[in-house]
Structure 1
Amino acid sequence: MSTSEVSQEKLNRLFWHSRRGMLELDLLLVPFIKEVYPTLDADDQARYEQFIAGEDQDLFNVLMQSVPPADADTKRIVELILAHAGKV
């Protein structure tokens, strides 16, 4: 699994997009984007970018495990986020 080079500009953009204004989401997404995202391979980076394009309430429900992930890609990135937060 090789990591993909990420420009600082892209990281900055994703950081601000990861700050959702909902404390529960911010506590999971902000540390993940800072500490894990740069080390992910290109496929997982794409999964994360697709995931955070969703609506806050949908992200919240999946991350709080109230509803199951809609597909395998979402399941993969949610597992990575929750593992990083120590929730799995």
Structure 2
Amino acid sequence: MEFEKKRLSRLKWACRRGMLELDVLFMPFVDEAFEQLSYEDKVLFERLLTCDDPDLYAWFMGHQSCEDAELARMVQIILTRVKV
């Protein structure tokens, strides 16, 4: 249990990108939707956060497509949640 609490704290810290467009996507998502994800999707979200900001920005703004199908799926999960 303690590990999960520490892991979530690190995850929230990793969501602070310093780029407003990404912060407004990641911070609410991790606060409001992360717990409902499957374990596999939680791990995938963690992997998404290891990507470079310019790539993340391009994927979320629709300027580029993510070539990694799993990461592209997570981008869509986040974007769909934002649009609701």
Q: Which residue of 1 aligns with 2:46?
A: 49
Q: Which residue of 1 aligns with 2:8?
A: 11
Q: Which residue of 1 aligns with 2:72?
A: 75
1:84: Cα distance to partner? 1.2
Q: Taking structure 1 as the reference length, what is the TM-score of the superposition?
A: 0.86
| Poorly superposed stretches of 4+, deviation over 3 Å | none
1:76: Cα distance to partner? 1.0
Q: Taking structure 2 as the reference length, what is the TM-score of the superposition?
A: 0.90
Superposition RMSD on alpha carbons, in Å? 1.4
Q: Which structure shows the bigger proportion of residues in helix conformation? A: 2
1:25 aligns with 2:53: no
For residues 21 and 44 of structure 2, what CA distance do their matches in structure 1 show?
20
In structure 1, list runs of 5 or more residues that go unmatched: 1-5
What is the count of residue pairs matched by the alignment?
Answer: 82
